[in-house]
Amino acid sequence: MAIRKYKPTSPGRRTARVNLHSEVTKYGPEKSLVSPLPKKGGRNHHGKITVRGRGGGVKRLYRQIDFKRRDRDGIPGKVVGVEYDPNRSCHIALVEYEDGVKRYIPAPVKIKDGDPILSSSDSAIEPSAGSCMPLRYIPTGMDVHCVELQPGTGGKLCRSAGMSARLMNKEGDYATIVLPSGELRRVPIDCRATIGQLGNTDHQNRRLGKAGLNRKLGRRPKVRGVAMSHHAHPLGGGEGRSKGGRAPVSKSGVLSKGGGTRDRKQHSTDLIIRRRKSKRYGQIK
């Protein structure tokens, strides 16, 4: 049982659901694969706060994850341990290759110490093998994660805990995948992906239970814009509770809901067959 509910000895413990991380077998990072992670507190290079509600939190070291795995093709490896990573929701697996090189990879479901790892088109087609290969060599109908958007750029899609995409079709120079959000899109067939589903599937079932854990994650309290004065926020002011008929915006006036987040220079929308949400009904098709 990966999620534990304790006796309600306090209000914070009453609603908390603790993730036991039962898959973790190694309790310390590999020193050669970590780097400092300085905190910004939501400030830009001018020192101005551009993202509110950030600050504090427990110190972290960044684990350098190998999302490309191209230079490890054909080199057998072995899982040394599965670790907790404070910088992401999924667990990570430390892999040691035959030539002595060690790398971190996102840990698939049911992977364990001693399992063989191989990044090659001839590697095992098993959900828990952690095999990484181009989409042209993966059978249709398989679940994949860490999918590249362009060959050589490293895994970009389905990198959080419990996520996987379904490879539906391969036609010409493109493969069609279905993302967890329901989006149906085409990806170049030479893009690499890892077979299987990512581990730590119980991450979505945890409940923090108290504000103190949010502070440890680096999330500070945020005052609602409608509760501020009219000179402090676009939604503030008014006699009583009023939004003034304006769409939800940030403190600087940028739309906070419904605004575009895709990079127009990448033209990633050209390969989308079915969008995540319908523009007309606002729900997944």
183-236 per-position pLDDT tens digit: 999 999 999 999 999 999 999 999 999 999 999 999 999 999 999 999 999 999
CB atoms within 10 A of CB 212: 9
Using DSSP, state whether 191 is helix, strand or coil.
coil
Residues 149 and 130: their CA atoms lie apart, in Å, by 19
Look at residue 125 in the predicted model and tell me its pLDDT: 78
Helices and strands counted in the chain (H then E):
2, 15
Residue 150 backbone phi and psi in degrees, to 5: -135, 140
Q: Is the pLDDT of residue 56 over 90?
A: yes
In the three-class reduction of DSSP (H, G, I as helix; E, B as strand; rest coil), residue 170 is classed as strand
The answer to whether residues 168 and 176 touch, using CB atoms and an 8 Å cutoff, is yes
Burial of residue 249 (CB within 10 Å: 0-12, 13-18, 19+) is middle
Could you tell me where the DSSP H helices lie in the chain?
A: 11-14, 211-216
**What pTM value is reported for the model?**
0.87
**Cα–Cα distance, 3 to 155 (Å, whole number):** 29
Which residue is it, tokens 């997944």?
Answer: 284
The three-state DSSP-derived secondary structure of 183-209 is CEEEEECCCEEEECCECCHHHHHCECC
Taking 50 as the threshold, does the pLDDT of residue 280 lie above it? no
> pLDDT tens digits for 62-78?
999 999 999 998 899 99
Task: Give residue 240's pLDDT band: very low, low, confident or very high (50, 70, 90).
Answer: confident
pLDDT at 269 over 80: no
Name residue 116's beta-bridge partners.
78
In the chain, where the domains are located: 21-203+261-274
Signed CA dihedral, 37, 88, 198, 133: sign only: negative
SS3 16: coil
CATH dotted code for 21-203+261-274 = 2.40.50.140
Q: How far apart are CA 17 and CA 203, in angstroms?
A: 10
**Side chain identity, residue 116:** P
